Structure 1
């Protein structure tokens, strides 16, 4: 039996913690266990189990949910689809709707999770201020970054997560990092617009 370790996300007393969970592969079947915030379990399952069933049908996998502990175990024989399913569940755990999270089933899409703890933001007031900067007044900053990059952004707990096509996620991540470290909103928007123009010029070959 080959054993691997996988990181799961756990929300406890308002805190996001990273725990290590074991995954196992036995011959043809693989499994992952992901710990998700308990308030996201109902979102994962959906009305009358609709969202959970759709994910199972796509991946030909089993999804078992322990509502008491917040453990989600997925098992199946298609390693590629199972990995994609794991990313979808992680996205739902970080605040995305199932419809947005399912974009990760496409080959060119990815999920980036920024931990605000990595920026020394353990103080509750500082954390609140930084999250407010990324969201902006009535959500303007988040919508602007999403619009300029074609990504989706979720601010949840002590994380800011970005979902979209790989190149776009890179630009959005840098924009969020600039806001976290104190850059002015106008400066960040201009940087994104410049990057967008350069990218289009590169695509045209000049």
Structure 2
């Protein structure tokens, strides 16, 4: 059995209207899903538990269930960047989140499109879902932004590495 603690405001997302989403999780992962407070327990075969655990973590990091359940597919990965690793100053963390999101979400959308990944900024984390090599390219661009590079430098990096992106 795997246990995942997620933010309380994301528990309702796991359950879904009338328990629909929880049922979808159970069907797609072949695991039993139990919720106790803000802890989600998944129980099944070891590999299935691992897939379910990643999907639950993805919902906990702000993804909608449909995007999170992509993680049960072959070759789809999940990666979390903690903004706290770049600064302990909470006002600076908000600035860095803003750099990743961009004006009206423009930077986030640009990275998603160019790297062919899904990206969520939630709390002090940036989470990514996608093919492994796509995540690697996106993480490098995000690290550039979080370390203070200009947006154009990160965008240029994404452009130069299009040959590594799986469509």
The interval holding the TM-score normalised by the smaller chain is over 0.9
Match of 1:179 in 2: 145
> What residue is the counterpart of 1:114 in the other structure?
81
Larger radius of gyration: 1
Unaligned runs of 5+ residues in structure 2 are: none
How many residue pairs are counted as aligned between the two chains? 166
Using a 3 Å threshold, how does the CA distance of structure 1 residues 73 and 199 change in structure 2: closer, same or farther?
A: closer
Aligned match of 1:79 = 46
- Displacement, 1:80? 1.2
Aligned partners of 2:133 and 2:164 also within 8 Å: no
Match 1:133 to one of 78, 99, 109: 99
In structure 1, distance between residues paired with 2:92 and 2:29: 41
For residues 19-74 of structure 1, the C-alpha deviation after alignment (integer angstroms, 9 at most, x for no partner) is xxxxxxxxxxxx0111110000000111101010011112222111013xx11111
Match of 2:156 among 169, 187, 190: 190
> Does 2:22 correspond to 1:52?
yes
Report the Cα distance in structure 1 between the residues aligned to 2:148 and 2:89, rounded to whole angstroms.
16
Shift of 1:99: 0.6
TM-score by length of 2: 0.95
Q: 1:74-132 CA distances to partner (integer Å, 9 max, x unpaired)? A: 111x221111011000000000000110110111101100111212x221210111000
The answer for the alignment partner of 1:8 in structure 2 is none
Higher helix fraction (1 or 2): 2
**Does 1:34 pair with 2:22?**
no
Q: CA RMSD in A?
A: 1.3
Q: Which residue is 2:130 aligned to?
A: 164
* Structure 1: 5+ residue stretches without partners: 1-30
| Relative contact order, higher structure (CA 8 A, sep 6+) | 2
Runs ≥4 residues deviating over 3 A: none
Where does residue 34 of structure 2 map in the other structure? 64
Distance, in Å, in 2 between the alignment partners of 1:126 and 1:113 is 19
